[in-house]
Homo-oligomer: A and B are copies of this chain.
Amino acid sequence: MAASVKEVAALAGVSVGTVSNVLNRPDHVKAATVEKVRAAIEELGYVPNAAAQQLRVGRSHSLALVVLDVSNPFFTDVARGAEARAEEEGLTVFLANSDESPEREARHLDVFERQRVSGVLITPAEDDFARLEELRRRGIPVVLVDRGADQPRFASVSVDDVAGGGLAAQHLLDTGRTRLAFVGGPLRIGQVADRFRGASDAVRAHHGGTIQLFGTDEMSLEEGRRAGEALRPLVREGRIDGVVAANDLLAIGVERAMLFGDDPIRVPDEVAIVGYDDISFAASAVVPITSVRQPRGLIGATAVELMLEEASRAKGEAPRHVVFAPDLVVRESTGR
């Protein structure tokens, strides 16, 4: 069906090798010949067969990005950053969604391994690195994304969640709130634990500050609302004046619980709220929410960077770990 170099060569009256040269090193070929070949390519609508190229060259000009949830803006921004950086290298990014399912993740990895992608950037659904070890042993560079700063065996790029939690709490302390609540959970999620630790440390370092943990089962708007209801009386009694939420959905939920119902609690006057992730809904909440922002695009770009490094890393060298510092986007929910 589709034309091949052979047909192009025949039409242009040259050999297949020359067609290939026109495509890959036009300067090695006389201008007139280049023109002839280009014309033939045009006429036949020739499109190189990636499979043949890859078979010959051994590598595919593509890399895989396996994320937990494509509909999460965090990951789509990471993907955008990765695509931009990859494009500079002439690499295509295949985006795959594991939906937090180890089975789906495994299926995707299988496909990508058969595809001989030149690297895998992944946020693993579980803490089981056996499959990834295997991939690496077989020569496919692996980079952990938003995970694994503590994994000596893999390169990784992540964000310092302890620092992020600290940033959120410190901001509240700096603006005069001293009786804080941390809303988030479950604590077995590393990110949540780190954010809580960072917040606690900041409060401990501040003379006279306190922080209470309000655990949640998941990081949803509904759970945030529930936690907010529980917080209401404490705020009324003056025992809580600032809330650090482990993500923005929780923060929005907490804010709603405060604002609604009879006897509304004013934000930020009676209670200030800080979220985490800086999703677009944080900025367009009823009272726009201050939030901790992660450098998402940069994370993606760096992951590609590390992947390239891994590809050429010497046996002895240790994989590199990049940890970014988050920053704070201040909005009305903590204003005065």
Residues of A within 8 A of B (CB): 1-2, 45, 47-55, 60, 70-73, 76, 79-80, 92, 94-97, 99, 110-111, 113-116, 134, 137-139, 221-222, 256, 260, 281, 284, 286
Contacts and interface: CB of A to CB of B under 8 A. Distances in A.
A116 B49 contact: yes
A54 B1 CA distance: 15
B94 A79 contact: no
Contact of A47 (B80, B113, B221, B260): B113
Given A47-B114, A51-B52, 4 more contacts: A50-B51, A51-B54, A53-B114, A222-B284
A261 to B, nearest CB: 11
Contacts of A50: 51, 111, 114-116
* Identical copies of this chain, number: 2
A98 B24 CA distance: 27
A113 B80 CA distance: 22
A70 B52 contact: no
A119 to B, nearest CB: 14
B71 A139 contact: no
Contact of A51 (B51, B96, B222): B51
19 contacts: A2-B116, A45-B134, A45-B137, A48-B114, A49-B114, A50-B51, A51-B55, A51-B60, A51-B115, A51-B116, A70-B70, A70-B71, A70-B76, A70-B79, A76-B97, A79-B97, A92-B111, A222-B284, A256-B286
Contacts of A134: 45
A95 B92 contact: no
A93 B2 CA distance: 22
Nearest to A107: B87
Contacts of A99: 80
Contacts of A76: 70-71, 97
Nearest to A57: B51
A97 B93 CA distance: 11
B45 A284 contact: no
A189 to B, nearest CB: 20
Given A50-B114, A50-B115, A71-B76, A138 B45 contact: yes
A2 B256 contact: no
Nearest to A94: B94
A293 to B, nearest CB: 16
Contacts of A49: 55, 114, 116
A211 to B, nearest CB: 27
Contacts of A92: 111
Contacts of A52: 51, 55
Contacts of A111: 50, 92
A50 B137 CA distance: 19
Contacts of A60: 51
B47 A138 contact: yes
